[in-house]
Amino acid sequence: MEKVYQRPKTLAAAPTRYCPGCMHGLVSKLMAELVEEYGIAGRTVAVLPVGCGAMSKNLFTFDVVCAAHGRAPAVATGFSRCAPDKIVFTYQGDGDLGAIGLSEIVHAANRGERFMTVFINNSTYGMTGGQMAPTTLVGQKTTTTPLGRDPLTEGYPMKMCEILSQLEAPAYIARFSLRTPAGVRRAKEGLRKALEIQLRGEGFAFVELLSICPTNWGLSPENCLKWMAEQSEKVFPEGEYSRAKEVK
Amino acid sequence: MARITIEAEYCKACGLCVSACKKGVIRFGGGTNAMGYHAVEPDETKGCVGCKLCAVVCPEAAIEVYR
Ligand SMILES: Cc1ncc(C[n+]2csc(CCOP(=O)(O)OP(=O)(O)O)c2C)c(N)n1
Ligand code: SF4
Ligand code: SF4
Ligand code: SF4
Ligand SMILES: [Mg+2]
C-alpha cells in the first residue's frame, strides 16, 4: 500500500494549540501543505496576527513574524519590499483584519503589494472570549451582543471580499467555506492560486476562509457545521470576487 | 484495499473526521491521550476505501491514508 495522504513536514511534530475542531489548525495545515508542495519552506514568511491565529507560530517550521494587532499587512509590505525573493503571507482573523486593522488591509490591497492574505472568518473575537466582530451575523449572540447583533446599534456584518473587490489593484480575491471536505479542497485550490500569484510576483491576493469557533459559539464542532450551512454561508457566499488580470 | 492511521497523541476528539467518513470507519475510542482527549480510532472491519475525506478535514493533521 502506498501513502496517499500524509502530514506535511512543514508542521512541527506536536498537536496544535487550538481548541478541538477549531479550523485554524485546518487552515494552517493547508498553508503548510502548499509550502511543502512548492518546496519554498526556505523562503516563505508567515506574518501572524494578534488573535488565536498567532498560535500557529508553534506549528509552522518555516519563518514566522508576529505583527501588532491588525498590522500584519504593514509588516508584510515592509518584508516583501525589502526582500522581494521571499514568499510572504499574512494570516489574520476577522477582528484583527476587519476591525483594528481595517485600514491596513485596505491600503495594502489598494497598493497591490506583493503578498497574500489568508483571512480566517469565524464571526467572532475568538482569543478574547467571543466578543462581537465586524463579521458577526445579525442576531448572533456574543458576549458583547448578549441579545444578538442589532444593526441599528452595531451595524451589519462586513463582507471583506466584496469590499476589497471594489479596488483596482488586487490580483485575486476569493472566499471559500471550510464546512465540507469538498469546500476544504476548493479552499486549497484558491490558496494555491494566491500562492502562484506570489511565485509569479503579480501582486496582492486575498483568500477568505469561512471557519468556526466551537468554544465561543458554544456549539459542538458538528453543530458548528450545521450553523455554517444554515447561517454564515448565507451571508458569506463562496466565490471568486476578483480574478487575476492579464499581466503585460 | 485501503487503511488509515490516526496519531492518537495529536487527536482532540473533535469528531470532524467521524462526520466526514461516509463508511463509518472512525469511532470514538476508549483510550485517553496525554492531553486528556479520548482519541478516535479506525474500525478495521468497516472497509475503508481510502477516499481521504477524513484526513482532509482533520485540523490536527493526525490522519494518514494508505491505498
Ligand atoms: C492593541 C490591542 N487591542 C486589543 C487586543 C485584544 N485582542 C486580542 S485578540 C483580539 C481579537 C481577535 O479576534 P480575531 O482577529 O477574530 O481572531 P480569532 O481569535 O477569532 O482567530 C483582541 C481584541 C490586543 N491584544 N491588542
Ligand atoms: S477560541 Fe475559537 S478561534 Fe480560538 S482556538 Fe478556540 S475555537 Fe479556535
Ligand atoms: S478530525 Fe482529527 S483531531 Fe478531530 S477527531 Fe478526527 S483525528 Fe481527532
Ligand atoms: S479514507 Fe475515506 S473511507 Fe477511509 S476512514 Fe477516511 S473517510 Fe473513511
Ligand atoms: Mg475571529
Domain boundaries, chain A: 24-242
**Backbone Cα Rg of chain B:** 11
In this complex, the residue of B3, B7, B14 whose CB is nearest that of residue A1 is B3
Report yes or no: B49 and B23 within 8 Å, Cβ to Cβ. yes
> Does B20 contact A at CB distance below 8 Å?
yes
Which of A31, A29, A69, A71 minimizes the C-alpha distance to A52? A69
Tens of pLDDT, residues B25-51: 999 987 899 999 999 999 999 999 999
Beta-ladder partners of A139: none
The domains located in chain B, with CATH, are 3-66 (3.30.70.20)
Determine, for residues B57 and A3 on separate chains, whether the beta-carbon distance falls below 8 Å: no
Q: Which CATH superfamily is domain A24-242 in?
A: Thiamin diphosphate (ThDP)-binding fold, Pyr/PP domains (3.40.50.970)
Distance CA A50, CA A228 (A): 24
ipTM over cut 0.90: yes
**Per-residue cell: A134:** 465586524
CA atoms within 13 A on the CB side of A204: 26
B10–chain A Cβ distance below 8 A for any pair: yes
> What is the pTM (predicted TM-score) of this model?
0.97
H runs (alpha helix) in A83-230: 94-95, 102-111, 151-154, 160-164, 181-199, 214-217, 221-227
Per-residue pLDDT tens over the stretch A121-168: 999 999 999 999 999 999 999 999 999 999 999 999 999 999 999 999
Residue located nearest, by CA, to atom 4 of ligand 4: B48
**Inter-chain touch B59–A6, beta carbons under 8 Å:** no
Asked whether A121 and A94 are in contact (CB, 8 A), the reply is: yes
Tell whether B12 is within 8 A of chain A (Cβ): yes
Pick from A5, A19, A220: CB nearest B64: A5
